[in-house]
Structure 1
Amino acid sequence: MQLQVRRWGARQWIAFGTIGFGSLFLVIGLILAGVSVSFLSDAERAKGTVVALDWRNDYSSASRKQRGNNEPHAYPVVEFTSSDGTQRTFRNSTGSNPPSYEEGDRVEVLYHADSPEDARINGFVSLWLLPLIFGGLGLLAAGIGTAVAMVGRGRS
């Protein structure tokens, strides 16, 4: 009986690494999606009003130079009344340039009754952008890694 041992070449290592990287990002995307779904299932809803736009430069000066982007992003500051009758204000965690909202816009606010300070605007970007970015990149990388592995396997 003869045992044949094959060494992994660079293509197999790259494929394995890309599949691992993609799988990790896919799992992170699924976890973030689960957090959003959990938040939505337990969230109270309230009507809110954008009372201000908080313009911020969130990038360090080095990364701004690399990206060539030194324009600030507008984060909506929203005021709403929670179910206990208390007037609350929060800054949304997602900013954009150009702004997604203007002062005076009416928005739906999602929050947990036990921690209304952790509120979010009920919008696609606020709830689903990170899960889609991580999940999409993970799926793409894992797919590319799998294709490279399959092509390499077909040749051997």
Structure 2
Amino acid sequence: MQFQVRGRAARRWVTLGLIAFGSLFLIIGLILAGLSVSFLADAERAPGTVVALEWRNDHSGTSRKRQQSDGPVAYPVVEFTSKDGAPRSFRGSMGSDPPSYERGERVEVLYRADSPGDARINGFASLWLLPLIFGGVGLVIMAAGAVVATVMRRRSRAESGNRPLRPAV
């Protein structure tokens, strides 16, 4: 796909669009990071055990070709005992192939005391993967917009420096 942007105003709109789109992604990443930090600050910790791997085809909304090439992914099913002594179970939010966890593996579980159903495995992927993806993509897109803006500004200054001066009247 090839397109050509003509005119200074059009380039400015493209630049502003890149910076705005990148900013949106960065803000989403920061919000997700804040939610993870908030969750960690209030979370209770408990030992847990991976009791099963739930294999699922999570390819809704993707093309048929992609569905055929990608196999199912494994989500860990974890059991733990909350502070109130009640046994709890949850399915991890991040699936992978090959599986990140093995059946019988011991993990640390983080959960809210007031809502033990809201539990997560204390791991990098479940806490920080989405904030890093959104924040990283946002920074890259914003940087691209900033580079385009810098190049446009330098080019504009160079063009104005090459113009002959008008005599003062």
Aligned twin of 1:52: 52
Which 4+ residue blocks in structure 1 deviate beyond 4 angstroms? Answer: none
- SS of corresponding position for 1:9: helix
Q: How much does 1:138 deviate?
A: 0.1
CA contact (8 A) 1:76 1:92 kept: yes
Q: Which amino acid aligns with 1:89?
A: S
The aligned residue for residue 101 of structure 1 is 101
Identity of paired residues, percent? 69
Instruction: Please state how far the C-alpha of 1:21 moved relative to its aligned partner.
Output: 0.5
Is residue 38 of structure 1 aligned with residue 68 of structure 2? no
Corresponding residue of 1:150? 150
What runs of 5+ residues in structure 2 fail to find an aligned partner?
1-6, 157-169
**Aligned-partner SS, 2:54:** strand
Which residue identity is paired with 2:50?
V
| Cα drift, residue 67 of structure 1 | 6.6
Length, aligned pairs only: 150
Q: Deviations over 1:47-79 (max 9, x none)?
A: 000000000001127435247633001000000
For 1:3, the equivalent position in structure 2 comes to none
**Contiguous gaps of at least 5 residues in structure 1:** 1-6
CA distance in 2, matches of 1:67, 1:48: 33
Residues 139 and 118 of structure 1, relative CA distance in 2, 3 Å threshold:
same
Q: Secondary structure at the match of 1:144?
A: helix
Cα 1:135–1:66 shift into 2, 3 Å: same
Give the CA RMSD over aligned residues.
1.5
Q: How far off its partner does 1:122 sit?
A: 0.1
Q: Which deviations, in whole Å up to 9, do the C-alpha atoms of 1:105-143 show, x marking residues without a partner?
A: 000000001110110000000000000000000000001
Deviations 1:12-35 (A, max 9, x none): 221111101000000000000000
- Work out which of the two has the higher radius of gyration on C-alpha atoms and give 1 or 2: 2
* Aligned residue identity for 1:53: L
Secondary structure in 1 aligned to 2:69?
coil
Once the two structures are superposed, the pairs formed by residues 1-156 of structure 1 within 5 Å of their partners are 8-60=8-60, 62-66=62-66, 69-156=69-156
Give me the whole-angstrom Cα distance separating, in 2, the residues matched to 1:69 and 1:41. Answer: 40
* Conserved? CA contact 1:64–1:70, under 8 Å: no
Q: Name the CA distance, whole Å, in 2 between partners of 1:145 and 1:69.
A: 35
CA distance in 1, matches of 2:117, 2:27: 28
Show CA shifts across 1:68-105 (max 9, x none): 63300100000000000000010011100110001000
